[in-house]
């Protein structure tokens, strides 16, 4: 699954539509970015870890508010586009790495931000990453993630395999490591694409 996913994304050009796997992203991209950012707490003074950052749809927004952002993606061409787009920011560290290979000291970050990732991870790695994020966060730190959901199952698109989990599965995982502060559908995506499978969760480390 890991190799399939890497091969798929490494062959895509770093464009907005390729990041969302849609053809109409420009119609709602700015609105969705604004919506997603509105769900986050004040990031002033925060050290933020952004996983699966892609071309940086949210990296600049995070860097504008936070003291420092560590932006991670496993595709070099996506990180390079992100870096060039946000070269005016001096508080971003870019890292080309598989999220499962990352290692940080305990309590390194105030906030961990993910916009799409877990559908590309096995159940075992998903739980392991939840555990690691809990360890990387400072007490009281924030974990925000947005993900595609569905009835439990695997979808094979010929190029890669994705796991669409039920909302309840994520809530169960959250309960093992975090306190759930907020959860709902991504409204912009629903209004523009008529899909209710895009959800976000705002969690806190006790």
DSSP labels, 41-81: ---TT-EEEEES-TTTTTHHHHHHHSSEEEEEES-HHHHHH
DSSP class of 45? T
* pLDDT > 90 in the chain, percent: 75
CATH for 2-204 is: 3.40.50.150
DSSP class of 86? T
Contact 59, 86 (CB under 8 A): yes
In this prediction the pTM is 0.88
Per the structure block, which two tokens stand in for 41?
A: 């707490």
Q: What is the pLDDT of residues 20-73, one digit of tens each?
A: 555 566 667 889 999 999 999 999 999 999 999 999 999 999 999 999 999 999
Nearest 5°: phi and psi at 81?
A: -65, -45
Contact 116, 147 (CB under 8 A): yes
- Residue that the structure tokens 């705002």 belong to: 202
Query: Which residues, 6 or more positions from 178, have their beta carbon under 8 angstroms from its beta carbon?
Result: 134, 143, 203, 204, 205, 206
Can you give the pLDDT at residue 151?
59
Rounded Cα distance between 104 and 16, Å, is 30
């Amino acid at each position: 699954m890991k190799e399939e996913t890497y091969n798929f994304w490494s062959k895509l050009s770093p464009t907005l539509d390729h990041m969302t796997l849609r053809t109409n992203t420009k119609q709602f991209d700015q609105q969705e970015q604004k919506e997603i950012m509105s769900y986050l707490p004040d990031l002033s003074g925060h050290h933020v870890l952004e996983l699966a950052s892609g071309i940086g749809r949210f990296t600049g927004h995070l860097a504008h508010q936070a003291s420092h952002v560590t932006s991670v993606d496993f595709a070099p061409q996506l990180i390079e586009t992100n870096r060039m787009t946000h070269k005016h920011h001096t508080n971003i560290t870019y890292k080309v790495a598989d999220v499962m290979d990352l290692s940080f000291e305990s309590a390194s970050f105030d906030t961990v931000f993910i916009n799409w990732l877990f559908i590309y991870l096995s159940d075992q790695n998903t739980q392991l990453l939840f555990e690691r994020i809990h360890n990387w966060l400072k007490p009281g730190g924030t974990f925000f993630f947005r993900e595609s959901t569905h009835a439990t199952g695997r979808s094979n698109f010929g190029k890669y395999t994705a796991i669409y989990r039920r909302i309840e599965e994520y809530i169960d995982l959250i309960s093992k490591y975090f306190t759930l502060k907020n959860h709902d559908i991504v409204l912009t995506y629903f209004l523009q694409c008529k899909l209710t499978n895009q959800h976000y969760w705002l969690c806190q480390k006790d």
